[in-house]
Amino acid sequence: MTRVLVLNGPNLRRLGVREPEKYGTTSFDDLVALCRDAGRRLDLSVEVRQTDDEAEMVRWVHEAADEHTPIVLNPAAFTHYSYSLRDALAQRTAPLVEVHITNPAAREEFRHTSVVAGVATGTIAGFGPMSYVLALQAVAELIAEQKTP
């Protein structure tokens, strides 16, 4: 079973209470359960983490690079300005799928640019919590492709 880190940036622990008209009513605990359930179906061992601390996020990315661990990442606000996170992600050694609950391109202008997209394998956005399930499916497919000679 392949280990996958699902990393979440600032304010995502507030899911369900933070702007439910944008982010829905699914709580962070519900999101964790959704990711773990999807992981089991996909034969992935999913570990979900959240931090409001940019340095902690960078450490987690370094850990994943050192261990060749795939990442599903919702960088949240770090998406738009964190060059330290982008530089850490550029060192990745396994698939990286950027994920967003909302569609940043349909939101405020400052949300239209992702500094991490250029180093990600791909981006999935705008499907609510299902974005995470789709990202995990993509990771499972990418892993399967790597195993095929």
What pLDDT, in 10s, does the model give residues 78-91? Answer: 998 899 999 999 99
Rounded distance between C-alpha atoms, residue 75 and residue 96, angstroms: 12
Catalytic: 100?
Answer: yes
Query: 62, 68, 81, 100: which is the annotated catalytic residue?
Result: 100
Whether pLDDT at 29 is above 70: yes
Q: Is 87 annotated as a binding residue?
A: yes
Catalytic: 23?
Answer: yes
What pLDDT, in 10s, does the model give residues 31-62? Answer: 999 999 999 999 999 999 999 999 999 999 99
Average pLDDT, the chain: 93
pLDDT at 149: 72
Tokens of 110: 């400052």
Q: Is 69 annotated as a binding residue?
A: no
Q: Is 102 annotated as a binding residue?
A: yes
Whether pLDDT at 105 is above 80: no
Residues 6+ apart with CB under 8 A from 107: none
Q: Is 62 annotated as a binding residue?
A: no
List, in order of start, the domains of the chain with CATH numbers. Answer: 2-147 (3.40.50.9100)
Provide the pLDDT confidence category of residue 147 given band limits of 50, 70 and 90: confident
